[in-house]
Amino acid sequence: MEFIIDNVVYIGLALGSALALLWPMLTNTGAGVPSISPAEAVLVMNRTKLLVLDVRGDDEFSGGHIKGAKHIPAANLEERIKELVKKKNKPILVVCQRGVRSSAACKILATHEFEQVSSLQGGLDKWVDAKMPLVKG
């Protein structure tokens, strides 16, 4: 017990360091969800008939989205899943603003046996940072 009292600062630093190292893994909501970078997404779009599924809200979508994207807000995905059934065996790229909602949407699609779903890494924020185009309306 005396050791702990004498070294409380060092123990605190060790625990803080461990938490700092583990924090990204503990907060990764996209764990287990395949994701691709904006550059990889463009390559896939140019080579395949990729469905881009935008799960952001209405205002976010109308403010700018990837050309040809299908819009189903994340909050409505479960009830509107039938709209996507014909695409069950096709590649689907799910996008949102930062990648959190798209990861959750990928998990929902996976529970409905969609086979080729992935999330856009960093969402549309990273898409814009990579100087990729958006359309409005």
Q: Residue 33 burial (CB < 10 Å; 0-12/13-18/19+)?
A: buried
Q: Could you state, in order of their start, the residue ranges of all structural domains in the chain?
A: 1-30, 32-129
Separation between Cα atoms, residue 93 and residue 32, nearest integer Å: 15
Q: Is the pTM of this model over 0.95?
A: no
Q: What is the pLDDT of residue 28?
A: 47
Q: What is the pLDDT of residue 1?
A: 73
Separation between Cα atoms, residue 113 and residue 117, nearest integer Å: 10
Separation between Cα atoms, residue 113 and residue 87, nearest integer Å: 11
The yes-or-no verdict on residue 92 having pLDDT over 90 is yes
Cross-strand partners of 95? 54
The yes-or-no verdict on residue 19 having pLDDT over 80 is no
Q: What is the pLDDT of residue 30?
A: 54
Please give the residue that has the higher pLDDT: either 25 or 101.
Answer: 101
What is the rounded average pLDDT of the residues 78-98? Answer: 95
Residue at 45: amino acid letter? M
Please give the residue that has the higher pLDDT: either 32 or 104.
Answer: 104
Alpha helices in 7-113 (DSSP H): 8-26, 38-47, 58-63, 100-111
Q: Tens digits of per-residue pLDDT, 27-56?
A: 444 557 899 999 999 999 999 999 999 999
Helix (H, G, I), strand (E, B) or coil at 108: helix
φ/ψ of 36, rounded to 5, equals: -130, 150
Cross-strand partners of 93? 52, 118
- The percent of residues above 90 in pLDDT, for the chain, comes to 73
Q: What is the pLDDT of residue 26?
A: 47
CA 29 to mean position of chain CA atoms: 9
Class of domain 32-129: alpha beta
Residue with tokens 């989205």: 65
